[in-house]
Structure 1
Amino acid sequence: MARITVVGGTGYAGSNIVREAASRGHQVTAIARTVPAETIDGVTYISGDVLDPAVVQRAAAGADVVVAALSPRGTLEGKLVGVVRELTAAAQAAGARLGVVGGAGSLLVAPGGPTVAETDGFPDAFKPEAAEMAAILDDLHASDAALDWFYLSPAGGFGAWAAGEHTGTFRLGGDLLLVDDEGNSTISGADYAQAFVDEIERPAHRRQRFSVAY
C-alpha cells in the first residue's frame, strides 16, 4: 500500500486517479480548493489552495507519491509552472515520487515533430495551456537526477466531455501521439487512471514522459 496525495484530486483526471488508487487499497489523500459533496469511501479530503506554499508542503509530507493533477486554468492560468516547481521541490525534499498529469499538446505527431500544439488544427485558445504543460515537462527533464518523476500524457481526446468507460485495455507509448486505425486519439478517464496507478505500483517510466491511448 502506498500513501498517495493527489493535488487537484477533485478534478476530472484527479478524481479518476483518486478512485482507482483507493479501489486498490492505497492510502489516498485528495487536496482541492473545496471538498466535493460526494466523496469516495476511504479517501481523506483536504481543502486548500495550491497557491499557498503551506498547502504544497502539506501535500508532500508523509507521502510516498505526490500527484500533480492540475490544469493551468482559472486562478492557476499562467501560474501552474511555478506551482509544480514548488511541488517538485517539496516532493524531492520528502523523498516522494512525483507523478504529473500531463497534456497531449507537447506530443509529437510524427518523429521529429511537429507537436500536436504546432499543427494547423490546434485551437489557439488552448495554446497557452499546452505551452505551460510543455514547460512543466521541460522542467522535469532538467531537474535534479535524484528526483523520481513521471509525466503521463493522455490521448488527444481526453476530458470530461468524453468520459468513456473503463475497458482495462489500452496502449502505452512515448513521445508520439497514439492514434487508432482511423486516426482517432482517445482514452477514458478511468483507463487513464488505471495506467497512472499502474505506474505507481510498478514503476516502468522513471524520469520519463509516456502516453496512453486506445
Structure 2
Amino acid sequence: MTSIAVVAANGKSGKLIVKEAVDRGFDVTAVVRGDNHTAAQHAIIKDLFDLTADDLKGFDAVVDAFGAWTPDTLPQHSTSLKHLADILSGTQTRLIVVGGAGSLYVDPEHTTQLADTPNFPDSFKPLATAMAKALAELRERKDVRWTYVSPAADFQADGERTGKYQLNGEELTLNAAGESIISYADYAIAIVDEIATGNHIGERISVVRA
C-alpha cells in the first residue's frame, strides 16, 4: 500500500488531496498544526517547521500543500520548502509540491513567465514571485526526489471534479476550449496519479482541465 504524508493537510488543496488518496486506497497521514479535519487515517500534529527526518521517515511520498498569502509570510514559501527538502535529503521519499501557475512560461524559449505578462493581476504578483523563487531554489537540489506541480492559471477551489485533466510541462498550455483552468479536485487527481504512476523526478509539470 502506498504511504503518503500531506503537509498542511487542513487547507483546501490539502484536504482534497487527502480525500483523493484515501479513496484510492493509500495510507495517508495528515500533517496539521491543530485538529485533523481531513479523511486521513493518521495525523502528525506538528508545525511544518518543527518536522524532523524521523517524522517523515518511510513514506513513499510527502505532499507539500503549504501556502502563505500575507506579505510577511510570503518568504515562507522558500523557507518551508527548504526545510522539507533538507529533512528528506538523501532518502527515497518523493517530495511532491503543490505549486503555482505564475512561473509557467508563455514562450518556447522559456524567457517570459506568466507573472511577467501585462494582464497578470498585480495583486497576485508578490505571491507568484515568492513561489517562483522557491521553485528556482528547488531546481538546485539534486539530493531530493522532488516534483513541482503547477496548476492552470484559473485554479478553482470550488470547481467541479470532472475526473479528467491534461498533463503538460513547463509552458502554460490551453485546453481544447482555449482555457487555462482546473479545479482543486481535478488537480488532486493529478497529484495522486503522479505519486501512483508518475516519474517526473526533478521536474516541474503542469495540469489543465481536459
TM-score computed with the length of structure 2 as normaliser: 0.90
1:81 paired residue number: 78
Which of 128, 133, 150 is the equivalent residue of 2:131?
A: 133
Residue 173 of structure 1, CA deviation:
0.6
Instruction: Kindly indicate whether residue 200 of structure 2 is the aligned counterpart of residue 188 of structure 1.
Output: no
> Judging changes above 3 Å, is the alpha-carbon distance between structure 1 residues 85 and 67 closer, same or farther for their aligned structure 2 residues?
same
Q: Deviations over 1:67-101 (max 9, x none)?
A: 11111224742222011111011112443111000
Residue 114 of structure 1, CA deviation:
1.9
8 Å Cα contact 1:50-1:56 kept in structure 2: no
CA distance in 2, matches of 1:94, 1:205: 16
Matches within 5 A, 1:13-52: 13-36=13-36, 38-40=37-39, 42-52=40-50
Residue 164 of structure 1, CA deviation:
1.6
Indicate the percent of aligned positions where both proteins have the same amino acid.
40
Q: Deviations over 1:176-196 (max 9, x none)?
A: 112135542111111111111
**Aligned partner of residue 31 in structure 2, secondary structure:** strand
Letter matched to residue 58 of structure 2: G
Letter matched to residue 199 of structure 2: A
Larger fraction in helix = 1
Instruction: Kindly indicate whether residue 198 of structure 2 is the aligned counterpart of residue 199 of structure 1.
Output: no
Matches within 5 A, 1:48-67: 48-52=46-50, 55-57=51-53, 59-67=55-63
Larger fraction in strand = 2
Letter matched to residue 35 of structure 1: D
**Aligned partner of residue 187 in structure 1, secondary structure:** strand
After superposing on structure 2, the runs of 4+ consecutive aligned residues of structure 1 that deviate more than 6 Å are: none
Residue 48 of structure 1, CA deviation:
2.1
CA distance in 1, matches of 2:68, 2:53: 20
TM-score computed with the length of structure 1 as normaliser: 0.88
1:150 paired residue number: 147
Q: Give unmatched runs, 5+ long, in structure 1.
A: none
CA distance in 2, matches of 1:151, 1:175: 10
CA distance in 2, matches of 1:93, 1:8: 23
Residue 59 of structure 1, CA deviation:
4.5
> Judging changes above 3 Å, is the alpha-carbon distance between structure 1 residues 56 and 213 closer, same or farther for their aligned structure 2 residues?
farther
> Judging changes above 3 Å, is the alpha-carbon distance between structure 1 residues 76 and 47 closer, same or farther for their aligned structure 2 residues?
farther
Instruction: Kindly indicate whether residue 6 of structure 2 is the aligned counterpart of residue 6 of structure 1.
Output: yes
CA distance in 1, matches of 2:159, 2:190: 15
CA distance in 1, matches of 2:60, 2:121: 37
Q: Give unmatched runs, 5+ long, in structure 2.
A: none
Residue 7 of structure 1, CA deviation:
0.6
8 Å Cα contact 1:60-1:87 kept in structure 2: no
**Aligned partner of residue 180 in structure 1, secondary structure:** coil
Residue 202 of structure 1, CA deviation:
0.8
CA distance in 1, matches of 2:186, 2:83: 28
Residue 58 of structure 1, CA deviation:
5.2
Residue 47 of structure 1, CA deviation:
2.7
Instruction: Kindly indicate whether residue 95 of structure 2 is the aligned counterpart of residue 98 of structure 1.
Output: yes
